[in-house]
Amino acid sequence: MKLMTFNLRCNDDPNGHSIAERAFRIFDIIKDYEPDICGFQEVVPQWMEELKVLDDRFDHYESYTEGNGRGEIIPIYWRKDRYELVDQGYFWLSKTPEVPSVGGWGGGFGLPRSCTYVALKEIASGKIVHYYNTHFDGSTDGNRESAQVIIRRARALGLPRETNVFCTADFNFHLNSTGWHSMRSFFKDVREEIAPENFQGTLNIYQPVGQDKGRLIDFVFYSGDKVVPKSYEVITRLYDGLFPSDHYGIQCEFDLL
């Protein structure tokens, strides 16, 4: 299973970095990397129009941070020839996760944050993949408590060792931060498990970034004894010096035993 996460950047930016100009670069990466499942962040209606080119190969489900079709869109895409949707939902990273709401822990940008969830059945094997995709607010308390909101949902799925659970996001936290440790109280970090010396940054702000722990804020987490991570790559591809987004994407490959 190939899993990709990518913050697409919500704005039209200058110097060759409008959404329309960047969309081709995103789709070229998807074509070459052939992910089975994708989680995107910072999606807006213009991006949803662009992403329609994926509809021949992918199904999708999304949530809106403000509810009722408003706010940042947090979609999940999956290959329709490989997976069937068996469950879906969304909730807010807040003290009242069932309704559109701001976290309530102080700090951050004061914006509501939603988390999109799907359960997918692999058609060939019948194996179930549980997947959460979201975008944290960046505050210390908000990151810590948002992680726990997701973990409570993940624990409710069943016995942790027997359940395949994945979570991706622009987490807006750093390695060994409070938020990272909060996620690690349930999940494993793919990078830490199989590429611990790879500190390639993910936040580029349209400037080349190399090994930089301070710019590593996007992660792929997983849980389950039957999940074996096989590869981890931060996608740093440029197009004549131009970027697909102000973040680099990440793709990981897993075996599901």
What is the chain's pLDDT, residue by residue, as a tens digit (257 residues)? 999 999 999 999 999 999 999 999 999 999 999 999 999 999 999 999 999 999 999 999 999 999 999 999 999 999 999 999 999 999 999 999 999 999 988 777 789 999 999 999 999 999 999 999 999 999 999 999 999 999 999 999 987 778 999 999 999 999 999 999 999 999 999 999 999 999 999 999 999 999 999 999 999 999 999 999 999 999 999 999 999 999 999 999 999 99
Contact 149, 167 (CB under 8 A): no
Residue 160, pLDDT score: 74
Exposure pattern of 71-104 as b/e (b: 16+ CB <10 Å)? Answer: bbbbbbbbbeebbeeeeeebbbbbeebeebbbbe
Predicted TM-score of the model (pTM): 0.97
Residue 67, pLDDT score: 94
- Sort strands 37-41 and 2-7 into parallel, antiparallel or unpaired: parallel
Name which of 137, 179, 165 is nearest 221 in CA terms: 165
Residue 109, pLDDT score: 78
Contact 250, 220 (CB under 8 A): yes
Contact 6, 247 (CB under 8 A): yes
> Which residue segments constitute the domains of the chain, with CATH numbers given?
2-256 (3.60.10.10)
Contact 90, 48 (CB under 8 A): no
| Residue 244 DSSP symbol | S
Angstrom distance (rounded) from CA 203 to CA 216: 6
Residue 106, pLDDT score: 77
Q: Name residues whose C-beta falls within 8 Å of residue 65's C-beta, 6 or more positions apart in sequence.
A: 71, 72, 73, 74, 92, 100, 111, 112, 113, 114, 135
Residue 43, pLDDT score: 98
